[in-house]
Amino acid sequence: MKIPSSQDPRVVVIGGGFAGLELARKLRNKPCQLVLLDKNNYFNFQPLLYQVATSGLEPNSIAYPLRRVFRNARNIFFRMAEVERIDPEAQSVHTSIGAITYDYLVVATGSQANYFGLDPSKLLPLKSVPQALQLRNHILVEFEKALLASDPEKMESHTNFVVVGAGPTGVELAGALGEMKNFVLPRDYPELDFSAMNIHLVEGADRVLPTMSEKASERARRYLGELGVQVHLRTLIREYDGKTIEIAGRRIPSRNLIWTAGVKAASLPGLEPALSKSGRLVVDAFNRLASFRNIFAIGDVAEMATEENPKGHPMLAPVAIQQGRHLARNLLRIQQGKALIPFRFFDKGTMATIGRNRAVADWGRLRLGGFPAWLAWMFVHLFTLVGFRNRLVVLVNWVYNYFTYDKALRLIIKRGKNLEETFVETPLEAETTN
Amino acid sequence: MKIPSSQDPRVVVIGGGFAGLELARKLRNKPCQLVLLDKNNYFNFQPLLYQVATSGLEPNSIAYPLRRVFRNARNIFFRMAEVERIDPEAQSVHTSIGAITYDYLVVATGSQANYFGLDPSKLLPLKSVPQALQLRNHILVEFEKALLASDPEKMESHTNFVVVGAGPTGVELAGALGEMKNFVLPRDYPELDFSAMNIHLVEGADRVLPTMSEKASERARRYLGELGVQVHLRTLIREYDGKTIEIAGRRIPSRNLIWTAGVKAASLPGLEPALSKSGRLVVDAFNRLASFRNIFAIGDVAEMATEENPKGHPMLAPVAIQQGRHLARNLLRIQQGKALIPFRFFDKGTMATIGRNRAVADWGRLRLGGFPAWLAWMFVHLFTLVGFRNRLVVLVNWVYNYFTYDKALRLIIKRGKNLEETFVETPLEAETTN
């Protein structure tokens, strides 16, 4: 990989998510050379992916080109690459575009969907922008298919939706589907009988939003009920043939199984010695791997045991952001020969929205619900978005959707016959030399 | 295909482009049953496709779901389908989702790229939304690749762009690429030498914008020069190996050959008797096929010989829109037993924009250029867009791009490894019975 040589120590960061992005920002124009690697050329704001999937927002509103973030950052070099393995002995990272050596390595690879043994090809995941677009296409095409169905069961299999996992993503997605059923789709498909559209939310735990307060769970469940979402608790999906699914002994025809249940850390070959039982990278209070002193892990992939969280922090954006910011400080302290400062997570609270005017929020001891929580949710998300234009466009869309009870972006953008022919797959191959 | 039966005569319209959409709109809630078929579920505003390709706009801003257009239109039924062939004897249309019979058939299938024998898989066309997104990805990935190139020629092959065809699309695209070179890309890729990025515009005729006035051509060419676009007139591309291209005896390394040269009508099997030499459907002054009295053709696919245009009207949106509107009137007159009115094209003029603050317009005898023409171009396009939200979002983006000298949407949304696995191809198959 061609990177200009530099006097400053080289920090290679793998992953431009919440953790990696925040770290790189804090090291902008600081005395180090930072090489940021990501398989995509953009940062994506995962908390709003479900709105892309439900035709509420366009990808560009929640994604932001990484190169733009680091304009005028003389010491930061972005490369779009798939990382294949780490070689800690040689202190080098092997990627799809060649190898690169590091003085310090920061692993911020986040997490990926955990299918618990089910066949991923039959499930609809929601962890990336392409998956969100794919899900949008799938949802819309299912209704076109429903129009053509010759018998009721076939028809239902297209209009029934099963969302697995009642974490924030699952709850918000189920809520958005409930809204589409109530306000949007009947106007588009007057020929269809929407009493045949059922939305099931399946959760293994004994309440929705298990990571939030009892009060929040209770409220969220009520809101879901009001939107017509059927909630199934203490329920696990053990098998799915792509056509019908069994929930609590009931056979439900559905070709739409949306998977938001559980994620697992996305570690990398070469770091096996540092893996915990749950597959995360065990780090000390400084996000440093015990086995490799110049390798750090932050965000979802890192497992830092604390009193409150003996199994590591929850896999949430705030943890990732705070760890990124903190490690940036520590990396600078290393160069200044100062002692490292241990990381402490400051819990700003969590929130989830369920359709228009309804949300739940836990802030310290405060338990917010209904319209106030919904307003808070909107503003928090609007202002954590990257880029002024994005905030503006998202606001325009939200205001539009709110007042028109509509979702404007119902485009099925498929790779048509012609496109199939002219489609140029564009992997980045390694050049002969690095 | 399941369509409710009706007393009114059934008009089947193939194609939801400018022509088909306008026709259907004018027959909304009129005494006929209208079945609209399109392979996509959206109308797309082709004149702005090039801005999607150059990261200026998102697809949803220039595309509009067809079902939303026809909400509350009791007599209009949309079906997403690929038409396979027409059977004029049986008065039926065979599609990917089954057959359907008609009383009147309107063919509004438009046109498709004409590659003049070159290998489409090596070219980058720009006729559809997926192609525009594909082109955007391709352009951005080429610069990522340029960063990795080991020798200058390889590097240039990634940064050289050749646009074939100097019609409005080609000229506007070349202009937009010129702007990206001058204002956008250098900030994203400070490591790259953009003197190595050359934009070539190749045209077979003796001037750019050959369909417009001499004055407009002259101005457009000057504007292109100011943006650093190299124009090659009286030049044809006879072969291209995907790596290097020969223009006027000069060998230019380029992996980016964007094809906007020439289109051909997109007729359908079963209508061969009506085909003209150039492959369009020959129609009389009422857009009716001579060979089949209850079949009509409108827009690009129709060839209506007139005094001004013995070879048929130019393949332009205004012609399509006016023919759609006119045929709607005539179809109603047929039912009222009235005589048909011959079509006359009212030329509202043509325009093209070349980068910021510069455009050319021919209105009757008026020849506009520079900033006034550019303003006019913006407003005309803004107000011909379908949907209030689209106008608002496009305006926001244009204003943003204008003042920041930026194009915000530089996302490479690729079907990643994971997606490859979970990608659900979703063709609409015919149900057993229709």
* B377 has pLDDT over 70: yes
**Taking all residues of chain B, what is their mean pLDDT, rounded to a whole number?**
89
Q: Do the Cβ atoms of B431 and A124 come within 8 Å?
A: no
Cα Dmax for chain A: 73
Q: What percent of chain A has pLDDT over 70?
A: 93
**pLDDT on residue A31:** 95
Torsion over CA: A356, A358, A362, A368 (sign) = positive
Burial A402-424, CB ≥16 within 10 A → b, else e: eeeebbbbbbbbbbbebbeebbb
> Does the CB of B3 have a partner CB in chain A at under 8 Å?
no
CA distance A109 to chain B (A): 15
Q: What is the domain class of B10-39+81-113+263-335 according to CATH?
A: alpha beta
* B183 has pLDDT over 90: no
Chain B residues with CB under 8 Å of A413 CB are 59, 63, 129-130, 133
User: CB-CB: which of B120, B148, B424 is closest to A138?
Assistant: B424
pLDDT in tens, A326-380: 999 999 999 999 999 999 999 888 899 998 889 999 988 899 999 999 999 888 8
Chain B nearest-CA residue for A141: B426
ipTM attached to this prediction: 0.82
**pLDDT on residue A322:** 97
Q: What percent of chain B has pLDDT over 90?
A: 64
Chain A residues with CB under 8 Å of B259 CB are none
**pLDDT on residue A422:** 27
pLDDT in tens, A110-164: 998 889 889 988 999 999 888 898 898 889 889 989 988 888 899 999 999 999 9
Q: Do the Cβ atoms of B414 and A130 come within 8 Å?
A: yes
Active site residues of B: 172
Please give the structure tokens belonging to residue A92: 């080098």
- CB pairs below 8 Å between A and B: how many? 215
**pLDDT on residue B332:** 97
Q: Do the Cβ atoms of B411 and A97 come within 8 Å?
A: no
> Does the CB of B7 have a partner CB in chain A at under 8 Å?
no
β strands within B154-198, DSSP E? 161-164
Where in chain A are all domains bearing CATH 3.50.50.100? 120-261+356-421
CB within 8 Å of chain A, chain B residues 369-408: 387, 389-390, 392-393, 396-397, 400, 406, 408
For range B407-430, the mean pLDDT: 46
pTM (2 d.p.): 0.87
* B431 has pLDDT over 80: no
Looking at the structure, give the CATH architecture of the domain made up of residues B120-261+356-421: 3-Layer(bba) Sandwich (3.50)
CA distance B136 to chain A (A): 11
Q: Do the Cβ atoms of A424 and B138 come within 8 Å?
A: yes
pLDDT in tens, A375-422: 998 888 888 887 777 888 888 888 877 877 766 566 676 654 433 322
Please give the structure tokens belonging to residue B18: 């400018």
Bridge partners (DSSP) of residue A350 are A362
**Taking all residues of chain A, what is their mean pLDDT, rounded to a whole number?**
89
pLDDT in tens, B235-263: 999 899 999 999 988 999 999 999 998 88
Where in chain A are all domains bearing CATH 3.50.50.60? 10-39+81-113+263-335
pLDDT in tens, B78-95: 999 999 999 999 999 999
Q: Do the Cβ atoms of B430 and A148 come within 8 Å?
A: yes
Collapsing DSSP to helix, strand or coil, B81 comes out as coil
> Does the CB of A80 have a partner CB in chain B at under 8 Å?
yes
**pLDDT on residue A1:** 84
Q: Which helix (H) or strand (E) holds B33?
A: strand B33-38
Residue A35 buriedness (CB in 10 A; 0-12 / 13-18 / 19+): buried
For residue B24, name the pLDDT band (cuts at 50, 70, 90). Answer: very high
Residue bearing the bigger pLDDT, B402 or A416 = B402
